[in-house]
Structure 1
């Protein structure tokens, strides 16, 4: 895409369900999308294989989070470019952490793109519905960390994405989108969905997806928008123009969806 980059985020859902069939759906999804940067959550890398390579092959650079659960679960970044730097931050902010299903890290990678330097941050806080305090603290830690990473640099754009496990009205998301402060800090990131699709629900975790219906526990909660892409703002607004935002992996392929989540994708370009 001339003068634009395409970014995406998706929770892969590990190897749950029929992975062989889901893998075909995800391969087709990303083959059609042609993304430049992808934040993936709940990917498994272990002695039997690498889920990300199974989806993307060898055509992309792949960065795997350094800390993973005992079964190899963690987060990954996929990119058209080799990274200039990669850093991780610890998200274990309270004692309420189960190391068996929460790696407790977020990853930032900087890339030289046609839009200039882009710091791409893959954020995955605690998932439990009653853990909003943890998600608030984790959002605060990530925001402070990003500000340190881009300190005194006016040339770098920041794209923050991931499965935040929080609806737009929650404190952690309100903080990130500039609607309130936390811990004496205020920041502002533009939610691409809110910008490009005002008034549309954009649910990414919904009973419209039969893979969630099959999970008896998750079938008890209402539809939610919990997966995000956001662009860091300067004093006037997002430093990249948001041309579009769409749900990702929300179409059946061979009778199945690729994950229990729908993802988000956006086309970003320079501000005129």
Structure 2
């Protein structure tokens, strides 16, 4: 056999082996179905202080974290102020859903928002009672790594010290979940304006895990060291921002507070600290 023909056959054999190896590697590569789900919740403090500077800080951190879901409260739009959720979503490349009790035709609207990396297949909202408290829950459904996920954002009452109004509102949220979740696993997060162990949240705790508490076993998670209110801006320390995950669907793996330090120029991202929670599907 001529030398050139022998060399050509050798090259062809090597090429076929390489192709088979690449195909086999692709076939046996582990699926991404078991990748964790990262959720962030943050009260934006609407347009207080230097919003353009704060917006830049928030975008930088969220881009670094690249969570699957972002839940926002105290989201504002107004004359000369583009919707804050839309602005963040645009810079991050996320899909967004803003909800408000303010009429759509109003220039100034205030409410909550959900941002997701994956497209939303359904979305909606429900006003919470009493109507004069101007509270609303938003929800969206996405398909995340082959599994449906229903996401709910809330910002509950803070004026009723008895907790009765929050109890009524969390009942409304749970009714909304029952009416909209379908076959999806559920995450509920936002600014609850009370500790997670409050009696008004007992119906929620019956089926959902406090993601932060579950990942800080042995800690007093309601001690000042775990506050989500920014005491540097005059708030009494209290952990009132939460991510609750469906207990029979998720295992909380990690969690931490975000934006707990100011920028070098002294600017704080918000008067709340954000919360990042990583969940694993059961």
Report the TM-score, using the length of structure 1 for normalisation.
Answer: 0.80
1:64 aligned to 94, 98, 112, which one? 98
Deviations 1:113-161 (A, max 9, x none): 016100000011223252621100000111122123235x3xx210000
Q: Does 1:253 align with 2:263?
A: yes
CA distance in 2, matches of 1:76, 1:194: 24
Deviation at 1:31, TM superposition (A): 1.8
Gaps in structure 2 of 5+ consecutive residues = 1-31
The equivalences for 1:193-272 within 5 A come to: 193-198=212-217, 199-201=219-221, 202-207=226-231, 210-211=232-233, 213=234, 219=235, 222-233=236-247, 238-254=248-264, 255-271=266-282
Deviations 1:39-92 (A, max 9, x none): 100011233212123334341111111433863211111110111111211202
Deviation at 1:239, TM superposition (A): 0.5
Q: For the Cα contact (< 8 Å) 2:89–2:95, is it kept in 1?
A: no
User: Does the residue aligned with 2:155 lie in a helix, a strand or coil?
Assistant: coil
The equivalences for 1:96-175 within 5 A come to: 97-98=132-133, 102=134, 104-114=135-145, 116-128=147-159, 130=161, 132-150=163-181, 153=183, 156-175=184-203
Deviation at 1:34, TM superposition (A): 0.9
Change (3 A) 1:24 1:124: same
CA distance in 2, matches of 1:30, 1:85: 24
Q: Does 1:44 align with 2:76?
A: yes
Higher relative contact order (CA 8 A, sep 6+): 1
Change (3 A) 1:251 1:268: same
Q: What's the counterpart of residue 84 of structure 1?
A: 121
CA distance in 1, matches of 2:146, 2:253: 14
Q: What's the counterpart of residue 10 of structure 1?
A: 42
User: Which structure: larger Rg?
Assistant: 2
Change (3 A) 1:66 1:205: closer
Q: Which ranges of 4 or more aligned residues in structure 1 deviate by more than 6 Å? A: none
Deviation at 1:264, TM superposition (A): 1.1
Q: For the Cα contact (< 8 Å) 1:249–1:262, is it kept in 2?
A: yes
CA distance in 1, matches of 2:36, 2:227: 25
CA distance in 2, matches of 1:68, 1:107: 14
**Structure with more of its chain in helix, by fraction:** 2
Report the TM-score, using the length of structure 2 for normalisation.
Answer: 0.78
Q: Does 1:31 align with 2:63?
A: yes
The number of residue pairs the alignment matches comes to: 238
